[in-house]
Chains A and B, each alone.
Chain A
Amino acid sequence: MIEITHFLVLAIILFSLGVVGVIINTHNLIVMLLSIELILLAANLLFVSFSFFTQNVEGQMFSMFLLAISAAEAAIGLSIILAYFKAKGTISINQKDQMKG
């Protein structure tokens, strides 16, 4: 029998994977974007599963909004990456002087 706990554990694992992906990824902006998507999806999964187990449809509505937002975000992110690539010739973020204060 699948319970809500399983969904929570899965969501936490997905979320942690996303965070770790953002943190340890130092080479590729696209990978970073994917990791952020993963974080969003983990949140999405929580919305859907709580909606299902509490018999409440509001959570599923929220998940639709979230999907739309993440799609828009992905589009903006990709276009930023494209512009970045055009300007720098690389999409590596391992450049020390880029954001040094």
Chain B
Amino acid sequence: MILPLIVFTPLFMAILAWIILPHFKPISTHILTTLGVGFSMILSIILFVPFFHFVPQTIELFPWIPLEGYTTYWSLKFDPLVGVMLFVVTTVSFLVHVYSTEYMSHDQGSSRFMMLISLFTFFMLFLVTAADFLQLFCGWEGVGLCSYLLIGFWFHKDSAIEAAKKAFIVNRIGDLGLIIGMAVIYYYFGTLEFTQIFDKLPTMINISLPLGFSLMDFITLMLFIGAMGKSAQFGLHVWLPDAMEGPTPVSALIHAATMVTAGVFLMVRCSPLLELAPVTKDIILLIGSITAFFAATIAITQNDIKRIIAYSTCSQLGYMFMAIGSGFYTGAMFHLFTHAFFKATLFLGAGSVIHAFSHEQNIKKMGDAFRHIPYTYAMMWIGSLALIGCPPFSGFFSKESIIHILSHTSGSIGTFAYLVSLFVAFLTAFYAFRLIFLVFHGKSNADDKVVAHIHESPSLMLFPVIMLSILAIFIGVMTYRLFLNPDVRFWVGSHVVLSPGVHYSLFDPVLLLPILGIVLAWLIYIKEFPINVFCKTHLTLIYEFLFTKWRIDELYTVLIINPIFSLANILWKMGDEKIIEGIGPKFLTQTTNYLGNKIKSLQTGYISDYIIVIFIFLVLLIPLIFFGSYK
């Protein structure tokens, strides 16, 4: 009974908030939704913490689509994988709710905002507790919808609307892949339920499709395309940086901690399928490493504080997919788990910074703020240290394990991914500390007015960030055995494919790379060695390339958007206006008009003309009287 309560309380509260919204003060909806998600969080912790003896189960609520031979149910599935996701989603969501009550309190639509993130939480929980692909897809679309609504929350800003539309459309492209994957699965397996699919796997290994695809490769590739859209992998990532137009709590909850990791969740959920698809795994490894690399390189040149963290998210998602591509599913899940907390810390911290600097987002216009906002400063340090993988922090355990596994991955793509993961570890440290040094140290570049107004956030905003940063520090060391040690038998009953345990060492030379990154950032931005100026002036081409985000948006404009626009133009001008309208409505109306105009000339308006007509017809009628049937 506890599981339906976890999932449906946020929905119930969102609906309740929607109903009472016009009648009560905003504070009531804030309290209502926050309490609802808080309730879910407590229940999730109750489920998650004494986890080792929990029996995986599926609760079937009621049938949804009764097909011949196969009926889909609305159902709630519970297993270790779901437990992890429930814990992450409800915890981060609750803290973001608390944060938002203060952060959004001056906004007119704060009630709507709370209602939407509560609804989002429901859809996310619905997604992770799905027992079959169909319900997963419902949750998948639901979170997409909430993401759209929340990115475009400030709908009076054109840029926000554009970003919301972009996110929605790009996600549709990914969803097409997911739908195709689901259709092929249903065609061959006759079912969409995860457990049944995994049971039928041994009979399906050797089926091959036309064009030399093996069935498993094709299915998983399509599912991966879906995951790429949601998780902003290279090619379909373009929406994520733009999504930062939304309010900061949204970025923390949806575009860092939960929704964007749905793709990773899907891949881990399908790990038994992926294990049979070596080609797809290579593709995932390649795409993941490209994503990690390109996002990190862009992040070092950006100036918008939220965009830097967004590209960082993109890059860390790349790490997760690299782990999946090398078959290290538990590691991907672990990185998802730790990343959710430290990235939410960073985002909410960035929100505090933006709040302190009077809604300024450009880090070049900040600086020397650490004395004024010490708590935020500390939180950002904790978040950044966890992000770069500094040993006692949570990021260390997850990222180190992924890099460790990648170093053992064979094949040229494996080697490439390993090198990329090392280089990105260095870049990550560089951009994370570039951000900290530019925002908190150096000399202040802000206006005097803004500087005078710098102030620490209220305690209602600090509390969630502090909680998250505590999680960001300790959650890694607390749970890494659980996630990564096969002897603990944590994953029993979840179908997740396990890999051998990882041993950590504090003297790994890999740890030098982040330190190198920090030192470089320190040299450039504190000691003011003009290395960055040198790069800008002498490596202009590369710098411009990175600063314009690899010109992906421009490339898409030229390659996809413009051809579609010109095609649409042709279809509009030729197909619709000339052919369809020309033959249909336009032709009919014009003919009617023409004939009407001709007949109209009979209607002269002279009485005498009418009388002539009357007499002519009278004369013509006379023979009828004599010869017609009238007689």
On whether the beta carbons of B608 and A24 are closer than 8 Å, the reply is yes
State the majority secondary structure of interface residues on B.
Answer: helix
| B interface residue count range (under 10 / 10 to 19 / 20 to 34 / 35 or more) | 10 to 19
In the complex, how many residue pairs between chain A and chain B have their CB atoms under 8 Å apart?
Answer: 33
Instruction: Note all chain A residues with C-beta closer than 8 A to B604.
Output: 96, 100
Q: How far is the CA of A96 from the CA of B604 in the complex (A)?
A: 7
Instruction: Determine if A99 and B608 form an interchain contact, defined as CB atoms under 8 angstroms apart.
Output: no
Tally of A interface residues using CB under 8 Å: 16
Q: Confirm or deny: B612 has a beta carbon within 8 angstroms of a beta carbon on chain A.
A: yes
A23's partner among B600, B603, B605, B608 (CB-CB below 8 A) is: B608
Tell me the dominant secondary structure on chain A's binding face.
Answer: loop
A89 CB-CB contact with B under 8 Å: no
Q: Name the contact of A22 in the complex, choosing from B600, B605, B608 (C-beta under 8 A).
A: B608
The reply to whether A97 and B612 contact each other, CB–CB distance below 8 Å, is no
Bound CA span A12–B612, Å? 17
Instruction: For chain B, residues 22 to 37, give those with C-beta under 8 angstroms from any C-beta of chain A.
Output: none
Contact call A100/B612, Cβ cutoff below 8 A: no
Contact with B along A58-100 (1 / 0, CB 8 A): 0000000000000000000000000000000000011111111
Q: Is the CB of A22 within 8 A of B603?
A: no
Are A98 and B608 touching (Cβ within 8 A)? no
Other-chain residue from B600, B607, B612 in contact with A93 (beta carbon distance below 8 A): B607
For residue A19, which residue of chain B has the nearest CB?
B615
Instruction: Quote the shortest CB–CB distance from B606 to chain A (angstroms).
Output: 7
Identify which of A19, A24, A25, A96 contacts B605 (C-beta below 8 A): A96
* Min CB gap B15→A, angstroms: 60
Shortest distance in angstroms between B600's beta carbon and chain A's nearest beta carbon?
Answer: 8
**A94→B605 CA distance, assembly (Å):** 9
Docked Cα-Cα span, A75 to B606, in Å, equals: 24
Q: Is the CB of A100 within 8 A of B611?
A: no
Residues of B within 8 A of A96 (CB): 604-606
A56: Cβ under 8 A from any B Cβ: no
In Å, the complex CA distance between A93 and B606 comes to: 8
Of residues 586 through 615 on chain B, the ones whose CB sits less than 8 Å from some CB of chain A are 600, 603-608, 610-612, 615
Task: Write the nearest CB–CB distance from B553 to chain A, whole angstroms.
Answer: 62
| Residue contact A22 to B611, C-beta cutoff 8 Å | yes
Chain A: minimal CB distance from B55 (Å): 86
Contact A25 B608 (CB under 8 A): yes
Q: Which residue of B lies closest to A25 (CB)?
A: B608
A-side contacts of B607, CB under 8 Å: 32, 93, 99
- In the bound assembly, the distance between CA atoms of A25 and B603 in angstroms comes to 18
Partner among B600, B603, B605, B611 whose Cβ is within 8 Å of the Cβ of A98: B605
Chain B residues, CB < 8 A from A98: 605
Chain B interface (Cβ < 8 Å from any Cβ of A): 600, 603-608, 610-612, 615
